[in-house]
Structure 1
Amino acid sequence: MNEIEVTGLRKEYGSFTAVESLDFDVLKGEIFGIVGPNGAGKTTTLKMLSGLIIPSLGSIKIQGLDIRKNSGKIKQKLGFLPEESPLYEGMTAIDYLMFFSEIYGIEKQTALTRIRELLGALKLDARDKKIGEMSKGMQRKVAIARALINDPEYLILDEMTSGLDPTTSKYLSDFVLELKKQGKTIIFSAHNLYQVESICDHILIMNRGKVVSTGTMPQIRKMCGAIEYSIEFNVRDNFDFAARKNNGNFITVTHDIDEFNNITGWVAKHNGKIINIKTVETSLEDIFLKLMN
């Protein structure tokens, strides 16, 4: 079931078009990743999805509700983490999160229980330390807790792990997977393509405000011709396709399934022997670099 439906989404700033004719759907309970170079329109897209800026054209529907007409109702179901998230550095994490709980109208005892759960899940030792005295990774966890304080159905994260060390980044990726298990629908942007490939169910690749490719990783690999076939063989006859020697055998590599079939057929026809066949799935990073060239 499509929980979020984006159709013909466009955002203009004067003569500049930041996002142009985006179409995509997000399923209930999935992790949806948006990637692209700087200036691709990722942040603008996420801000439109969260209701912070109004589209110039197109529509965003969440649970069938148009975000233009039902912004207040939809925002109650959303949690948003901006890429740059200034915090009140003179407050403790608990006081800061209590402040936002009050904004959402959450009853005090319910809020305290929720805050303890979030700080525990994020492994954030708050105690009496002020936010300004915390590391960047700890501050990012506080910002994530703030985005979750209202227990949203939908979580929109802009560069969640930007600038964080690998250990903290991995922990937050695992934390997002746990949120998915709780039934939350998560949309996030990231420059860490390995992270996106590892945890996302669907991926949208953007450039200059447009969709370059979208789908699951297997679908994107298929569309972009990004599956590599390695054939190791031995044959006496001469051949006219590229191959390198390897311990008395030959290895040739192709991305084309028809060429793969032609080569293996040729080897068999000439009384050769197929030693080994490997299928290598190209990474999202390699696909991304190929599409951006």
Structure 2
Amino acid sequence: MITVDGLRKVYGDFVAVHGSTFDVEPGEIFGVVGPNGAGKTTTLKTLAGLIEPTAGTVRVAGEPAGDPETRTALGFLPEESPLYEDMTARSYLRFFADLYDVPRETANQRIETALDDLELEHRDRRLGDVSKGMKRKVAIARSLVNDPDVLIYDEPASGLDPLTTNYVLEYVRDLADAGKTVLFSAHNLYHVESVCDRVVIMNEGEIVARGTVEEIRAEHGETTYRVFTTVPVERSEPDGDRHVTTVDSMDAVEEVREAAAAAGGEVIDIRTRESTLEEIFLDVAGQPMPGSRRVAPGAVEGDRERDPSEPSEPPEAPEAAE
């Protein structure tokens, strides 16, 4: 459904994205995460057709991402998504349906279905008078008025309360179950871990880890075992009326078992702990990666010295339909 091959984006002498390559399958929720300035927003906006790549190819359903027909066949939800606050939810969504040339009867049906699915109340109240959670739901509904096959969601649960956040995450899963392909970015890595089928972690404009959460954990994380025994053994520590030994392999677990038996005791509990995605993220992206993101002299026409006060990513581009 989505193919990114050697994506590179340069602003003057600053490399925002350096040679990213990945693909997204139909019906998949694909996460793009990284620290601020890692290039993830530039990547998402390039996929949405809002930014032209400096090099490489980006295709959605086999067509270039920047083609007008491709842009109208996807839904984009930016992290900051201001609404027209004098409109109601219904009038706002009908306005965007008209921009996409959706027939009025079809638009009305889609709008009501989306608002029902999102359990959005006060559909005829001014958007300036509703809560942030309701505004975010309206923005999500807006991304669906053209019935796109591909959805690009940048921080869909940004600033929402836990109840609304959980609802939005469940709704994203429902969209994927219905056959939508979703690109998903969030700073809360628990959200990413709970909703995404596969993930890429970006840092300094490059992909530094990729795969399912389990694959990333196997390659970059670690598994430890806390073995509880009735008697002390070598390297154990007291834990109430028990003793606990932390080891990093099942062979070591067996050694603790044998040592406990030799001392007249036994193993009474074993607890496995795996690295969370957040811990792996901090490990692979928490420190600056080796190398520079500046373009080598002569590599790009129009090179210039970047003012340190400039942002590491470009200002927000306008939304596709606004």
TM-score (structure 1 length as normaliser): 0.89
Task: Give the structure 1 partner of residue 255 of structure 2.
Answer: 265
Of 185, 188, 203, the residue aligned with 1:189 is 185
Task: Give the structure 2 partner of residue 53 of structure 1.
Answer: 51
Q: Which has the higher contact order (CA 8 A, sep 6+)?
A: 2
DSSP 3-state at the match of 1:148? coil
For residue 137 of structure 1, report the CA deviation from its aligned partner.
1.1
Code of the residue aligned with 2:20 in structure 1: it is L
For residue 225 of structure 1, report the CA deviation from its aligned partner.
2.7
Task: Give the structure 2 partner of residue 85 of structure 1.
Answer: 81
Q: Structure 2: 5+ residue runs without aligned partners?
A: 288-322
State the distance in 2 between where 1:56 and 1:13 align. Answer: 9
Code of the residue aligned with 2:108 in structure 1: it is L
DSSP 3-state at the match of 1:6? strand
State the distance in 2 between where 1:249 and 1:128 align. Answer: 62
Code of the residue aligned with 1:219 in structure 2: it is E
Higher strand share: 1
State the distance in 1 between where 2:38 and 2:176 align. Answer: 26
Q: Deviations over 1:112-132 (max 9, x none)?
A: 111111111111123431111
- The answer to whether residue 236 in structure 2 is matched with residue 243 in structure 1 is yes
State the distance in 1 between where 2:45 and 2:272 align. Answer: 40
**Conserved? CA contact 1:20–1:210, under 8 Å:** yes
**Conserved? CA contact 1:6–1:24, under 8 Å:** yes
Code of the residue aligned with 1:144 in structure 2: it is I
For residue 234 of structure 1, report the CA deviation from its aligned partner.
5.4
Name the stretch that deviates more: 79-88 or 279-288.
279-288
Task: Give the structure 2 partner of residue 67 of structure 1.
Answer: 65
**Conserved? CA contact 1:137–1:164, under 8 Å:** yes
**Conserved? CA contact 1:235–1:271, under 8 Å:** no
For residue 21 of structure 1, report the CA deviation from its aligned partner.
1.6
State the distance in 2 between where 1:106 and 1:38 align. Answer: 37
Percent identical residues: 48
**Conserved? CA contact 1:94–1:115, under 8 Å:** yes
**Count of residue correspondences:** 283
Q: Deviations over 1:39-81 (max 9, x none)?
A: 111111100111110111111122333335xx12322321001
Task: Give the structure 1 partner of residue 173 of structure 2.
Answer: 177
State the distance in 1 between where 2:189 and 2:115 align. Answer: 27
Q: Structure 1: 5+ residue runs without aligned partners?
A: none
- The answer to whether residue 215 in structure 2 is matched with residue 222 in structure 1 is no
State the distance in 2 between where 1:121 and 1:267 align. Answer: 53
Alignment root-mean-square deviation, CA:
2.0
Code of the residue aligned with 1:252 in structure 2: it is T
Code of the residue aligned with 2:21 in structure 1: it is D
**Conserved? CA contact 1:156–1:187, under 8 Å:** yes
Of 107, 111, 132, the residue aligned with 1:111 is 107
For residue 220 of structure 1, report the CA deviation from its aligned partner.
1.1
TM-score (structure 2 length as normaliser): 0.82
Task: Give the structure 2 partner of residue 95 of structure 1.
Answer: 91
Q: Deviations over 1:213-258 (max 9, x none)?
A: 111111111011332222224567x63xx4312345432223x43x
- The answer to whether residue 120 in structure 2 is matched with residue 130 in structure 1 is no
Task: Give the structure 2 partner of residue 205 of structure 1.
Answer: 201
For residue 95 of structure 1, report the CA deviation from its aligned partner.
1.0
DSSP 3-state at the match of 2:143? helix
Q: Deviations over 1:178-197 (max 9, x none)?
A: 11111101011101111111
